[in-house]
């Protein structure tokens, strides 16, 4: 048995291609059928790594009796939220307007004209069937009331974001004192004991630490750095990190960073590469370096396509059980580790009955009196308390050898499912992460992977008029790109320029920016739409404003406008970035935790950005040495012989030895010929 989804490329849709439900993909065919037959629509939205999506499929969508109820009374549409974030955003907003709590699977009921009137997340099969019957009854017997309700939700969605969220943009003056006030607000939400924010589940939220690092660079406020280090240490040591194979899971279901929701998403890992790399340049914490190297090795080993793109996600489940691939019984660990089991069990809190559920142990390094992390300039040691009188120092080499044994055994297990679609937006985030890792560590493999990915995006996901495609699979790019795609790829290309000084990547970023301004910018609201002007298939055209696990695409665009404006001396780009930033000032001053990527840009605008100009034969080597120092508010340009960039104009003639210019507001100090001298000028 198959349905129409068998023709799709999305792994999530293909998972449902053998359901008895008569699923349609999102598109005109399904919408026309609903209008023609005057039937309500079920839009069911999820993604391939979503545990509860799989549960609802097994319980309801694979059940022939449930499917019969769905097929007889409804037009059923299945959506991959990662493939169609525009559809997901519209109907998630509708659910919130209904007073519902968001999550996936997201199931929304629509009128035949695609206007929503009711929605919810997961439901067990009996409740689901009861709801289907109630909705069908309401559609027949209370049709006008449903139409009125749906129209109200749509009118709410059609309201301009500036009006809806009071984004006034009254001033482009950015004051340092505002940042202290923002910090005082956000620290009220800190978990000062366990790191992260004071709530559960706990998400990594990379843009929070991006803001705190930049705020610390300006203010030297020790509270900011303390929270960054506490949080990054717990995220690096806890169960959200895969100690055996590298890479982070999506979030911790508890407040202790212990048990993750085991799915691994590309977007988390790409962003965390950036955060940990930047934090390393400040703290020189060897743990941060190890996590970056291990995560990039996982990306290279398990997530890199032959063409150079990165796949989207690994499932939470294997063999139908969440986390089965990652957990261990004590007996398994004893058999594998032999003499090393004793100290390993103390380090990881291994128990005969399991430290999690069903007799299983999950690996995480929780703070406890049985062990201590010892860090030197380039090494990590684990001091383990074996009993009341005996301690053992475990060097990183021995620790890693034990984890390698577990890795070899784990590789023979049934692996979690791979979502092998390649998304431009998430690849852009990962590309930026690779460039930040290269800037911090100078590891040539990182630059090679970044260039491979940059070329993949250029060759496969950008067409001749510099329009991006959103998704790539089976050799074919599909779905017109969204603002998140442009924002992330532009950011990645800016990063590639700054690790290569190859201006072709700056040119690519500028062309993508020009397309975005022409086709996605709203002159009236002075922000960017999420969807392209050529895409008119939805009931509303939305804007993504607030930062979450992934920064809002508008905040990323503001960063891009500012960076490009600085790099190529486009004052109009800087002015647009400033105006967008000013519109969010009210939000930053009241609840900054949801606009921290905006706040990170505010830090850059509250004090001058350093323009670092490096020219001469050793420009790349000087750049590499310069990047080892924590100085987030800078742009770097450079060339060996020739360049058309305004910041390099007149700098390349008669250069006998490599030279560095430190400039602010296009005014440069006297040239110097060593990185040490340049850093003195900065400070």
Total-model pTM: 0.94
- Write a three-state SS string for 548-570: CCCCCHHHHHHHHHHHHHHHHCC
Judged on CB neighbours under 10 Å (0-12, 13-18, 19+), 629 is middle
Strands 23-25 and 75-80, bridge-based pairing:
parallel
E strands, 379-433, are 380-385, 391-395, 418-419, 422-423
Average of per-residue pLDDT across 346-355: 95
Judged on CB neighbours under 10 Å (0-12, 13-18, 19+), 378 is exposed
* Predicted pLDDT of residue 466: 94
Give the contacts of 398 (CB within 8 A, at least 6 positions apart).
340
Average of per-residue pLDDT across 173-189: 96
- Please say if the pLDDT value at position 338 is more than 80: yes
- Please say if the pLDDT value at position 439 is more than 80: yes
Q: What percent of the chain has a predicted confidence (pLDDT) above 90? A: 87
CATH code of the region 4-159: 3.40.30.10
- Please say if the pLDDT value at position 655 is more than 80: no
Residue 466, CB-side half-sphere exposure with 13 Å CA sphere: 16
Tokens of 452: 């491979």
* Predicted pLDDT of residue 368: 85
Strands 469-473 and 321-322, bridge-based pairing:
unpaired
Q: How far apart are CA 269 and CA 250, in angstroms?
A: 9
The lowest-confidence range among 34-43, 240-249, 316-325, 589-598 is 316-325
Task: Enumerate long-range contacts of 377-386, CB under 8 Å, 24 or more apart.
Answer: 377/284, 377/286, 378/286, 379/286, 380/286, 380/287, 380/290, 382/347, 384/343, 384/346, 384/347, 385/346, 386/342, 386/343, 386/346
Average of per-residue pLDDT across 40-67: 94
Judge whether 527 and 580 are in contact, CB under 8 Å: yes
4-159 and 176-316+419-606 in the same fold: no
Judge whether 499 and 435 are in contact, CB under 8 Å: yes
Q: How far apart are CA 220 and CA 243, in angstroms?
A: 33
* Predicted pLDDT of residue 378: 85
Q: How far apart are CA 638 and CA 612, in angstroms?
A: 8
- Please say if the pLDDT value at position 161 is more than 90: no
* Predicted pLDDT of residue 172: 81
Tokens of 383: 């001091």
Q: What percent of the chain has a predicted confidence (pLDDT) above 70? A: 100
- Please say if the pLDDT value at position 21 is more than 80: yes
State the residue for tokens 């009254």.
Answer: 170
Average of per-residue pLDDT across 146-166: 89
Give residue 169's pLDDT band: very low, low, confident or very high (50, 70, 90).
confident
- Please say if the pLDDT value at position 171 is more than 80: no
Other Cβ atoms closer than 10 A to 335: 11
DSSP states along 451-473: HHHHHHHHHHSB-TTSPBEEEEE
* Predicted pLDDT of residue 45: 97
- Quick: pLDDT tens for 603-653: 999 999 999 999 999 999 999 999 999 999 999 999 988 888 998 888 877
Domain ranges of the chain: 4-159, 176-316+419-606, 326-412, 610-682
Judge whether 345 and 330 are in contact, CB under 8 Å: yes
List the beta bridge partners of residue 667. Answer: 664
List the beta bridge partners of residue 662. Answer: 612
Average of per-residue pLDDT across 503-525: 96
Average of per-residue pLDDT across 220-236: 97
Average of per-residue pLDDT across 527-546: 89
Pseudo-torsion of CA 91, 158, 592, 197, nearest 10°? -10
- Please say if the pLDDT value at position 593 is more than 90: yes
Nearest 5°: phi and psi at 117? -130, -15
Average of per-residue pLDDT across 536-547: 88
Architecture of domain 176-316+419-606: Alpha/alpha barrel (1.50)
Give residue 344's pLDDT band: very low, low, confident or very high (50, 70, 90).
very high
Q: How far apart are CA 233 and CA 237, in angstroms?
A: 6
Other Cβ atoms closer than 10 A to 598: 28
Give the contacts of 20 (CB within 8 A, at least 6 positions apart).
1, 61, 62, 63, 64, 67, 68, 71
Task: Enumerate long-range contacts of 95-102, CB under 8 Å, 24 or more apart.
Answer: 95/119, 95/120, 97/153, 97/156, 97/157, 98/153
Distances (CA, A) of 597 to 84, 426, 587: 23, 17, 12
Give residue 539's pLDDT band: very low, low, confident or very high (50, 70, 90).
confident
* Predicted pLDDT of residue 540: 87
Average of per-residue pLDDT across 117-144: 96
Start-to-end Cα distance in the chain: 69
């Amino acid at each position: 048995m198959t349905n129409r989804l068998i023709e799709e490329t999305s792994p999530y849709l293909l998972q449902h291609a053998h359901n008895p439900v008569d699923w349609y993909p999102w598109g005109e065919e399904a919408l026309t059928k609903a209008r023609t037959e005057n039937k309500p629509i079920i839009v069911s939205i999820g993604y391939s790594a979503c545990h509860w999506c799989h549960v609802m499929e097994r319980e309801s969508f694979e059940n022939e009796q449930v499917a019969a109820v769905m097929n007889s009374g409804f037009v059923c549409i299945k959506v991959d939220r990662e493939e169609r974030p525009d559809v997901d955003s519209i109907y998630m907003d509708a659910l919130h307007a209904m007073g519902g709590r968001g999550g996936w699977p997201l199931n929304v009921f629509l009128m035949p004209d695609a206007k929503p009137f009711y929605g919810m997340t997961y439901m067990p099969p009996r409740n689901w069937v009861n709801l289907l019957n109630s909705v069908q009854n309401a559609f027949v017997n209370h049709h006008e009331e449903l139409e009125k309700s749906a129209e109200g939700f749509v009118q709410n969605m059609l309201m301009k974001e500036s009006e809806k969220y009071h984004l006034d943009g009254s001033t482009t003056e950015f004051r340092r004192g505002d940042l202290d006030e923002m910090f005082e607000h956000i620290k009220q939400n800190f978990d000062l004991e366990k790191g992260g924010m004071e709530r559960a589940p706990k998400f990594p939220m990379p843009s929070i630490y991006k803001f705190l690092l930049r705020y610390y660079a300006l203010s030297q406020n020790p509270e900011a750095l303390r929270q960054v280090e506490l949080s990054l240490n717990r995220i690096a040591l806890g169960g959200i990190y895969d100690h055996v194979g590298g890479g982070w899971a999506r979030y911790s279901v508890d407040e202790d960073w212990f048990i993750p929701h085991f799915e691994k998403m590309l977007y988390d890992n790409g962003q965390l590469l950036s955060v940990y790399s930047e934090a390393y340049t400040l703290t020189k914490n060897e743990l941060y370096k190890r996590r970056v190297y291990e995560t990039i090795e996982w990306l290279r080993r398990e997530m890199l396509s032959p063409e150079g793109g990165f796949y989207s996600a690994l499932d939470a489940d294997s063999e139908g059980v969440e986390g089965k691939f990652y957990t261990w019984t004590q007996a398994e660990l004893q058999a594998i580790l032999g003499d090393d089991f004793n100290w390993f069990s103390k380090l990881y809190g291994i128990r005969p009955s399991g430290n999690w559920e069903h007799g299983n142990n999950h690996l995480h390094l929780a703070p406890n009196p049985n062990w201590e992390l010892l860090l030197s300039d380039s090494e990590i040691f684990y001091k383990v308390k074996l009993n009341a009188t005996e301690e053992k120092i475990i060097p990183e080499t021995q620790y890693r050898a034990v984890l390698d044994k577990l890795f070899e055994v784990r590789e023979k297990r049934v692996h979690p499912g791979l979502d092998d679609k390649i998304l431009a937006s998430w690849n852009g985030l990962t590309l930026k992460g690779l460039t930040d890792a290269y800037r911090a560590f100078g590891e040539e493999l990182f630059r090679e992977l970044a260039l491979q990915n940059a070329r993949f995006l250029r060759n496969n996901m950008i067409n001749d008029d510099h329009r991006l495609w959103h998704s790539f699979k089976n050799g074919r790019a599909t779905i017109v790109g969204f603002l998140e795609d442009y924002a992330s790829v532009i950011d990645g290309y800016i990063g590639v320029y700054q690790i290569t000084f190859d201006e072709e990547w700056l040119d690519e970023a500028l062309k993508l920016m020009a397309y975005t301004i022409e086709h996605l910018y709203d002159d009236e609201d002075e922000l960017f739409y999420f969807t392209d002007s050529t895409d008119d298939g939805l009931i509303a055209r939305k804007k993504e404003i607030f930062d979450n696990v992934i920064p809002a695409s508008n905040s990323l665009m503001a960063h891009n406008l500012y960076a490009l404006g600085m790099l190529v001396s486009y004052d109009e780009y800087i002015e647009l970035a400033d105006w967008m930033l000013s519109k969010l000032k009210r939000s930053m001053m009241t609840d900054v935790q949801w606009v921290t990527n905006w706040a990170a840009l505010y830090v850059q605008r509250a004090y001058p950005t350093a323009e670092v100009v490096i020219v001469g034969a050793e420009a790349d080597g000087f750049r590499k040495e310069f990047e080892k120092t924590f100085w987030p508010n800078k742009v770097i340009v450079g060339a060996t012989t020739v360049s058309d960039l305004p910041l390099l104009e007149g700098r390349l003639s008669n250069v006998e030895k490599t030279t560095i210019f430190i400039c602010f507001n296009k005014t440069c100090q006297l040239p110097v010929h060593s990185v040490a001298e340049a850093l003195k000028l900065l400070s």
